[in-house]
Amino acid sequence: MKKKYSFITTLLLSATLSQAQTADSVVVKKLYDATLSHGQSYEWLRQLTTQIGGRLAGSANAAKAVQWGKNVLEQAGADRVFLQDVMVPHWERGAKEEAYIVVGKQKITVPLLALGGSIATPKKGIQAEVIEVQNFQELRALGKEKCEGKIIFFNRPMDPTKINTFEAYGGAGDQRRSGANEASKVGAIGVIIRSLSNTLNDYPHTGSMQYATGVPLIPAGAISTNAAELLSKTLKENPKTQFFFKQNCETLDDAPSHNVVAEIKGSEKPDEYIVVGGHLDSWDVAQGAHDDGTGIAQSMEVLRLFKELGIRPKRTIRIVLFMNEENGNRGGIKYAELAKQNNEKHIFALESDSGGFTPKGFGIQGAAASVFEKIQGYKSLFAPYGLHEIERGGGGVDIGPLGPQGTVLIGFKPDSQRYFEYHHASNDKFDTVNQRELELGAASMASLVYLLDKYGL
């Protein structure tokens, strides 16, 4: 009899699971159908990028973006929208940079951008011989004897053999973040880096750098990958080649700003929170489309889809437009700090900050084995939409500070091959984003939120 009951129980359980999965597949399809037929993410992205544009933390455009985000989320039907105060760094680029390679009497103009957080050069700029290095070890081996009074040129490219371009970016990022400190230690008067891009073009890519305590401050800029190739070739032909650059940036006092937070109140467990978000700020040199206007538009679309389709979440869903991811992560830190102070239980957080390209899946961080396996169990529901990668890793800078509070962190993963053509560069514009790819990403995120809210972790 035991075997008979066991068999019947198994059949009943299998039938129940099958019915549940069928019902879930219907909801997932509705989410995709709604955003692909009449979604709002692409229009919202157009407004943010073309009507406001670059929005570095502390700037007037960042303030405009905060008010825009608040208005849009209210109009989308959020149950509650509020602003979280946050003080952010305020760095300004100033007048356009100038740079050229100097070979004898010949001057070859090259594109350059000051790195975020850098000091300015003297008003007349700086000019000196160039020392090319690949890494910090090579620089230290040369020492003051060869580097003092020179401009250090870090020319280590992103590794082209890495299929995941974010891995290649991470492997090359130390020269941007800390190159000025290491160059200063050996007596250099300035530093230039090869832009962190896996494409040869004429767009320099900016990004943040930090000065170390007790090290003399020297100016730092990034030249385009084509310019880096040219400078390297010129140095091989003429080791006495010089470089000139002038930049006019400055760091001002911290400025007041805000995270924008919108809620759909949970129907059964309103004191458990699910965060979906991206960062509202961008670098100043472009429209900030892929970084991270797409993540902002997709996150807001999640809220709109739930409201339009009448999906009542069990838990409270928060859409968070974080401020200051690019040069400080003050918004992410402040949000986690307030969550801890208010004793809020955050179940999981989902971030989109990898561009608006074709969805591939999700990266999961901080989940127990059973939770990870549960999320992987949704693969059959995602498969018809091309989401095949549910893997360990991921998360995001903005949601990272929630991790120590026990929150499972999930990063939305689109295809990464084109992202670093635009990342932190002046060509990161609205017209580089494909509407269908953007909308597929929004529906993917909404589907995962629906499933994790319904079944929990």
Report the side by side order of strands in the sheet with 408-414. 80-92, 250-264, 315-322, 269-279, 345-351, 408-414, 359-365, 389-392
Catalytic annotation, pick one of 301, 325, 326, 421: 325
Residue 377 near residue 371 (C-beta atoms within 8 A): no
Distance CA 430, CA 325 (A): 20
CB contact set of 252 (below 8 Å; sequence gap of 6+): 58, 90, 91, 92
Phi first, then psi, for residue 345 (nearest 5°) are: -95, 105
Task: Name the one residue in this structure whose structure tokens are 């594109």.
Answer: 111
Amino acid at 404: P
Task: Name the one residue in this structure whose structure tokens are 């307030």.
Answer: 338
Distance CA 167, CA 161 (A): 10
What is the sign, positive or negative, of the torsion defined by CA atoms of 423, 424, 427, 428?
A: positive
Based on the residue annotation, tell me whether 43 is a catalytic residue of this protein. Answer: no
What region, left, alpha or beta, does residue 383 occupy, with left being phi > 0 and alpha being psi -120 to 50 degrees? alpha
What is the sign, positive or negative, of the torsion defined by CA atoms of 306, 308, 311, 312?
A: positive
What region, left, alpha or beta, does residue 288 occupy, with left being phi > 0 and alpha being psi -120 to 50 degrees? left
Q: Which residues pair with 323 in a beta bridge?
A: none
Query: Angle 402-404-406 (CA atoms, 0-180°, nearest 5)?
Result: 80
Residues that are catalytic? 325
